[in-house]
Amino acid sequence: MAEKYTAKEITKALQGMHGNISAASKLLGCSRNTIKRYVDKYPSVKAVYEEERETLIDFAENQLFKQVQEGNITAIIFTLKTIGKHRGYVERQEVTGAEGGAIVVNWDDSEGND
């Protein structure tokens, strides 16, 4: 059975829609599953899809960088919590016992378990 679209047509749609499968499928008038099938079947289509998604991430990172430079506190916190983790910028929940002490576990061995 012949394919309705060429790999080149799918590639062009993905490039035009920056790797957005839903948008590419609307552009071509097909289902999302059709686009996904081409991505899975044709390495050249998959490579374009992945490159478009990476380009989008690069763009988003640049926008985040600009927001950090402008002093946007939300962007600063997000950046530190994600790529600043290795420097200790993480949120952690500490679980402690009463008044910050150790957690005491009482083991009831009345059932004869070892």
Residue spans per domain, the chain: 7-89
pLDDT in tens, 4-14: 999 999 999 99
Report DSSP letters for 20-89, one per residue.
-HHHHHHHHTS-HHHHHHHHHH-HHHHHHHHHHHHHHHHHHHHHHHHHHHTT-HHHHHHHHHHTTGGGT-
pTM of the model: 0.69
Nearest to 49, CA basis, from 25, 7, 6, 18: 18
Choose between 106 and 72: higher pLDDT.
Answer: 72
Determine the pLDDT at residue 109.
Answer: 72
